[in-house]
Every structure is written in C-alpha cells, then in structure tokens.
C-alpha cells in the first residue's frame, strides 16, 4: 500500500530547494505519495509526481496564525500517514495534528531560532535576550511532543536533545552533472541567496571599488532582496559600478549563471546565527566547479581550506574580500584547479545522496513504529 506524506510550510515557496527539489522528490522516488502545501501563485497543480497545493503568501507576521489554522484543517482532511513541516510558528499546529491524528509528525528546523532572534531588526534590541530565552523554551517543549526533529546542522540539533528523535540532514546540493562552462569575455563574480545587510550586501558592493578595471569584473547578485535600504536599491547607479541585481530567479536559471561565473561569494557577517550554519550556496558553488571566497568562520574554513576550493576572509573588510577575488581572477591555473577541487569534494562528500538515505531511513523507522 502506498503511504502518503503531507509536507507543509506557510513561509517557504513551493519550489524551495530543500523542500521540493530534495526532500519531496526523494520521497516520490522512494514510492511515497507526496502532497506539498507551500507558498505558490496558484491553487493546485501536479509537478513531477508531487501534488502541490498553494498557500497565499502572508506578508504580515500576525496573519501567519491564520495560515497555521488553514494548514491544520488541510492536514486533518489529507488522511496522510506522516506529516512534515518546516516553520517554527507551525509547532503548535504540528502538536495538534499529532494529537488529533495519532500519526507521526516531523519538525524540520532550518535555523537556530533562539540565535536568529538577535538578528531580527523588528524586535527591539533590549527585548531580544528575553524573547530568545522564551522562544527557546517553547520550541523545545513543543518539539518534545513530536515524533522527530530534523535539523540542518549539528549545532541546531544540540538544542533538541530532549526530543524523542533528532537527526541531522544537511542541506547539501543534489548530485548534479558538471555544469558546462560558458565564457563571455568577462569575469563574473556571483552571489546567490538572500540579499541583505547581514549577508554582506554592502561589503560586496564596496568590494568592487578595489578590483582593477582591467579585470573587467562584474558582480551579479541573485536572490530576493531582504532588509535593504532604498538608497542601496538604485539599479542604474549600481550598473555604473558593474553591479547587477537579478532578484529571485528560477532554479534552472541559477545553474546557467553558475556556469558563467568565475568566483562565488558567501561572505556573511560574523553573527552567532551564521557561525555554525551550512549555507547551500557554498556547496552549490563547489558542485558547479566554482572557486569561492567565504567568511573565515572556523567551520567554513575547515570545509573550504580542507577541500582547497577557495579562500576565507574577514567578511567585514571589503578590501580583504577583493584581494582574494582578484587573486582568483588573475590566476587561471589556480582558479581552475580550485574549481576542480570543489567539484571533487561535492562528488565524494558534500551532496544530497548521503542525506537522502538518512531521510528515507527516518521515514521508514517512524512508519514502522507508529
């Protein structure tokens, strides 16, 4: 008998890399019936064997409470054998689903939520410590009542030691064929991901002032704009500095840009929430054979220098970032070799294949023991 999975989120887009392209597709491939409820500009459609039911994007944070109630009702009607959700604000609803249905419910924690509180500009700074503490207590207490917690890193899993079952499933990229390189006569520097102040937006822009004009370098920022001041969004002014904002683009188009790029950037600010994170963009650069320049966090330094696929820098120093970018753009032999090293590390270690097996094993265990 085919077993049914309901995956749901009130925040993430339906084609999210971790949720749709990895987890949902892996479950379909393993023979599950998968129903995905996530943010989408349509009511319902089927994509690659996955039934996608749209959730309206809630721009107001308080309106997400309404989305939680809606998803709870959909979950009860779905008749799924197992439920898997991706947002911390859905934890109370996840507990209610588990109580109402008696079926296994999984909470997938992408970020260290208590640490993330300290980065929220809309929370007054004087309240962040107390709110972080309270959020931590509530998150752990609710998670204990679920069948399992999936975390994206080991450091996040440390926060859920009291849960019934905790498993780390890292957000490594899918095993992909080597992207065909296309030369355009220019040195394209890429950043792929959410674009914000804490993710180094301003330093990347300032970096361009230190790159010699004869290198014909362009900086392409690909991803949604988040918390960017209006004066930093002047497209024409940025283009005069050879900087281009692309916004969020389809998954396949990202791959094309990776094929055209020469260097990938992942220079996030040194805040606590990022130190133990594993940003997907870093591993996507490696999979594409793209050498990278990354923040010198100890964990990232171990990955980048251990794989000999790029350099680590002080992310708050635009000149330091520029120096390492110039080093790569000026030395074709070094750049190509580091790209090959990163690709090899992707093929042997940093890919979704290993994580997929952990996901399927967890599902089988929960469904067998329910």
Answer for the pair 10, 71: CB distance below 8 angstroms, yes or no. yes
Is residue 65 in some structural domain?
yes
Question: What element of type H or E holds 188?
Answer: strand 187-192
Is residue 178 in some structural domain?
no
> Residues of 124-145 as b/e, b for ≥16 C-beta within 10 angstroms?
eeeeeeeebeeebeebbebbeb
Is residue 244 in some structural domain?
yes
321 and 359: one domain?
no
Is residue 182 in some structural domain?
no
The pLDDT, as a whole number, for residue 186 is: 83
The pLDDT, as a whole number, for residue 99 is: 97
The pLDDT, as a whole number, for residue 63 is: 63
Residue found by looking up tokens 């987890």 in the block: 23
Question: What element of type H or E holds 247?
Answer: strand 243-247
Is residue 115 in some structural domain?
yes
269 and 303: one domain?
yes
The pLDDT, as a whole number, for residue 169 is: 96
Q: Within the chain, what is the greatest distance between any pair of CA atoms?
A: 65
Is residue 344 in some structural domain?
yes
pLDDT tens string 84-118: 999 999 999 999 999 999 999 999 998 866 676 66
Does the pLDDT of residue 134 top 90, yes or no? no
Does the pLDDT of residue 34 top 80, yes or no? yes
Does the pLDDT of residue 147 top 80, yes or no? yes
The pLDDT, as a whole number, for residue 29 is: 96
pLDDT bin (cut points 50, 70, 90) of residue 275 is confident
Alpha helices in the chain (DSSP H): 25-29, 64-78, 91-101, 113-116, 125-143, 154-157, 201-207, 235-239, 251-260, 272-275, 280-287, 298-307, 318-329, 332-348, 352-369
Which range is least confidently modeled, 130-144, 206-220, 306-320, 350-364? 130-144
What percentage of residues in the chain have a pLDDT greater than 70?
93
The pLDDT, as a whole number, for residue 122 is: 66
Q: Domain with 50 in it: what CATH number?
A: 3.40.50.2000
118 and 239: one domain?
no
**DSSP calls for 270-314:** --HHHHT---HHHHHHHHTT--EEEE--HHHHHHHHHHT-EEEE-
Between 137 and 314, the higher pLDDT residue: 314
Between 284 and 185, the higher pLDDT residue: 284
Does the pLDDT of residue 81 top 70, yes or no? yes
243 and 152: one domain?
no
142 and 266: one domain?
no
pLDDT bin (cut points 50, 70, 90) of residue 45 is very high
303 and 361: one domain?
no
pLDDT tens string 150-176: 999 988 998 898 889 999 999 898 887
pLDDT bin (cut points 50, 70, 90) of residue 370 is low
241 and 161: one domain?
no
Q: By residue range, what is the domain housing residue 254?
A: 187-348
Q: What is the number of structural domains in the chain?
A: 2
Residues 293-319 have a mean pLDDT of 97
Mean pLDDT score of the chain: 90
Which range is least confidently modeled, 121-125, 301-305, 318-322? 121-125
The pLDDT, as a whole number, for residue 59 is: 65
221 and 127: one domain?
no
Between 169 and 224, the higher pLDDT residue: 169
The pLDDT, as a whole number, for residue 21 is: 93
pLDDT bin (cut points 50, 70, 90) of residue 269 is very high
150 and 230: one domain?
no
pLDDT bin (cut points 50, 70, 90) of residue 248 is confident
- The strand pair at 44-47 and 50-55 is best described as antiparallel
Which residues have a Cβ under 8 Å from the Cβ of 146 and sit 6 or more positions away? 94, 95, 98, 105, 106, 107, 163, 164
295 and 363: one domain?
no
267 and 301: one domain?
yes
Does the pLDDT of residue 182 top 80, yes or no? no
* pTM attached to this predicted model: 0.79
40 and 66: one domain?
yes
């Amino acid at each position: 008998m085919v077993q049914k999975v309901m995956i749901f989120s009130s925040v993430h887009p339906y084609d999210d890399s971790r949720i749709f392209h990895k987890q949902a597709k892996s479950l379909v491939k393993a023979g599950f019936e998968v129903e995905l409820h996530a943010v989408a500009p349509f009511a319902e459609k089927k994509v690659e064997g996955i039934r996608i039911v749209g959730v309206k994007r809630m721009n107001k944070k308080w309106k997400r409470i309404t989305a939680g109630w809606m998803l709870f009702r959909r979950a009860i009607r779905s008749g799924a054998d197992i439920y898997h959700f991706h947002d911390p604000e859905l934890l109370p609803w996840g507990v209610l689903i588990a109580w109402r249905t008696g079926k296994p419910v999984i909470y997938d924690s992408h970020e260290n939520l208590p640490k993330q509180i300290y980065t929220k500009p809309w929370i007054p700074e004087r309240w962040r410590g107390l709110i972080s503490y309270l959020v931590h207590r509530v998150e752990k207490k609710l998670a204990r009542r679920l069948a399992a917690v999936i975390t994206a890193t080991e450091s996040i899993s440390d926060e859920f030691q009291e849960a019934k079952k905790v498993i780390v499933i890292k957000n490594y990229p899918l095993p992909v064929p080597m992207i065909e390189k296309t030369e355009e006569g220019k040195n394209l520097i890429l950043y792929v991901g959410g674009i914000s102040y804490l993710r180094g937006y301003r330093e990347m822009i300032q970096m361009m002032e230190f790159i010699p004009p004869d290198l014909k370098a362009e900086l392409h920022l690909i991803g949604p704009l988040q918390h960017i001041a209006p004066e930093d969004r002047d497209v024409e002014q940025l283009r005069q500095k050879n900087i281009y904002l692309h916004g969020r683009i389809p998954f396949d188009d990202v791959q094309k840009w990776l094929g055209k790029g020469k260097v990938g950037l992942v220079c996030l600010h040194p805040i606590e929430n990022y130190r133990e994170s594993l940003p997907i963009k870093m591993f996507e650069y490696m999979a594409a054979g793209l050498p990278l320049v990354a923040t010198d966090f100890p964990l990232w330094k171990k990955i980048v220098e251990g794989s000999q696929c790029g350099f680590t820098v002080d992310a708050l120093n635009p000149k330091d970032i520029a120096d390492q970018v110039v080093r790569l753009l000026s030395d074709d032999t070094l750049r190509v070799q580091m790209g090959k090293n990163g690709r090899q590390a992707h093929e042997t270690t940093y890919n979704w294949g290993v994580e997929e097996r952990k996901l399927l094993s967890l599902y089988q265990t929960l469904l067998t023991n329910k």
